[in-house]
Structure 1
Amino acid sequence: MKFAVAGATGKMGKMLIDTILRSSNAQLTGALEHPSCPLLGTDAGAFLGQQTNVLITSDLAKGLAGAEYLIDFTRPEGTLLHLEAAKRAGVKMIIGTTGFTAEQLQQLRGATDTIAIVFAPNMSVGVNATLKILQVAAQLLNQGYDIEIVEAHHRHKVDAPSGTAIKMGEVIAKAQGHSLADLAVYAREGHTGERKPGTIGFATIRGGDIVGDHTVIFAGEGERIEISHRSTSRQSYAEGALRAAAFLQNQPKGWFDMQDVLGLK
């Protein structure tokens, strides 16, 4: 499998490159960065002390030449630029970027008439197993339990709540026959009054180098159930992205998520 990586000099980009270089069935063919990146023109494996002969570039056509897949964990504006280039080149995409608006998501979906895309706010196999557990829990605990989602990430994360937290809320709401848009409470301040039954509350923590912690609380009378997932490394995201690419090998076009990749639907 031949990969180009967007955001090649970022923490996630480096983890993806490291994972690809260590994989026996993956090859790095492109490394993309923004035009003002000071590392343009350097070897994409230099941070590992390896020579890959793949130079970091801001030229999308050049970076995608020879690639079958583009892995993108950048920002919405960058991902949408990369999307147009991937469509032109016929390159499939694995997208872990978060913070898209509804209109931007529609733009991504529109591209699946041309290419195949796996889109997931979290590529971790463990997180996606947790989503399945939450679906079952939400069905069982659909009366008498207040639901709160607490997430924590590093100080550099720019969107809140996290895409994973929102996905958890969507899974729970759908399992109980509702839309998250009708139930979500994203902020509380001042005299809020009593908690409205059936709502799903979100709390956000930002600090330090926290990779990603998520806890869903089902609080009832006399008991509380907590379902948590904690990431201590970005390695699980990278491994999940390669697993997503393997799934796409037999998908010429279409829109998929990690639940499709893992056969959990």
Structure 2
Amino acid sequence: MRIGIAGITGRVGRLLVQEVLAAGAVLSGGTTRDPEQARDLALPDGAVLLTDMVGLARISDVVIDFTHADTVVSHAGALVEGGAAWVLGTTGLSGAQLAAVQAAVRRIAVVHAANFSPGVTLVQRLATLMGRTLPAESYDAEIVEMHHRQKVDAPSGTALAIGEAVARGREVALADVRESGRDGHTGPRKTGAIGFAALRGGQIVGEHELLFTSADEQITLSHRAFDRRIFATGAVRAALWLKNRDSDLYNMEDVLGLPPL
């Protein structure tokens, strides 16, 4: 299977190079805005560096993309034109960017996930079950996340995905019940709210904690990532899983073979 990497010179892109080769797949190449940054990459024979996504799609069966939300619309069109499947790990997508993904899945197979860690995927599954089982009138749901000081978005995409899972279990829209950035005299907590708190510091890869708290008990789910490699490993697993899949939108629960809830 030929796997291409968008943004091959980035932190995750460099890990993806190693994980693609470790999985025994063919690294077709990668895109970079500055080929000079790739001089120290240990690329195998045949792997090429490109500056355009259409070219990478044409020589790949699947492209793994952890770049930026601003590239999603152009990448969606390029992958459809080039005929490659898409593993998309970009979060914080706007309505227009989500629409571009939805248009692409009519032509190509896409795995889109906020986090490719198997552990986080299972946390999201449990979050849905807990949201469904624990009444919102009695159990307050709060999500706390911490990341490295360079992270520019808050809450994290993974925190929002966990919140979406809770909201799905409660059969509500997250946008209608989300509370974040509390400051000053905010008044009492709203019943049924899903709260978010974002912490930043040091070089923490990613920590997420989901708390359900009632008057009588508290249940906590937590996940800590020690190395960004877990995201690269999961993304390569998703890429290999996409082989011969029909055009559709998939997630990591599909990749892990979890049954529908």
TM range (shorter): over 0.9
Aligned to 1:236: 230
Gaps of 5+ in 2: none
Q: Which runs of 5+ in 1 are unaligned?
A: none
Identify the residue that residue 128 of structure 1 maps to in structure 2. 121
| Aligned residue in 2 for 1:139 | 132
- Note closer, same or farther for the CA distance 1:62–1:174 as it changes in structure 2 (3 Å cut): closer
Residue in 1 aligned with 2:88? 95
1:114 equivalent in structure 2: 107
Tell me the equivalent position of 2:11: 11
Give the conservation status (yes or no) of the 8 Å contact 2:58–2:84: no
User: CA offsets, 1:162-195, max 9 Å, x none?
Assistant: 1111111111111112111111012211110111
Q: Is the 8 A contact 1:39 1:56 kept in 2?
A: no
Distance apart, 1:12 and its partner CA: 0.6
Q: Matched residue pairs, number? A: 258
Q: Give the match's secondary structure for 2:182.
A: coil
- Structure 2 match to 1:181: 175
Distance 2:246 2:65 in 1: 19
Q: Which residue of 2 aligns with 1:39?
A: 36
TM-score (norm 2): 0.93
The answer for the alignment partner of 1:162 in structure 2 is 156
| Partner secondary structure for residue 188 of structure 1 | coil
Q: Which residue of 2 aligns with 1:190?
A: 184
For the structure 1 residues 68 and 38, does the alpha-carbon distance in structure 2 shift closer, same or farther, using more than 3 Å as the test? closer
Correspondences of 1:48-127 after superposition (within 5 Å)? 49=42, 51-127=44-120
C-alpha separation in 2, matches of 1:140 and 1:252: 34
Deviation at 1:53, TM superposition (A): 4.4
Amino acid in the other structure paired with 2:233? E
Query: What code does the residue aligned with 1:39 have?
Result: E
Superposition deviation, residue 38 in structure 1: 5.4
- 1:152 is paired with a residue whose SS is strand
The two structures, once aligned, show a CA RMSD in angstroms of 1.7
Matching of residue 28 in structure 1 with residue 27 in structure 2: yes
1:247 aligns with 2:241: yes
Change (3 A) 1:64 1:39: farther
Separation in structure 2 between the aligned mates of residue 139 and residue 248 of structure 1, nearest angstrom: 30
Report the CA distance between 1:81 and its aligned residue.
2.0
Deviation >3 Å, runs of 4+? 49-53
Identity of paired residues, percent?
39
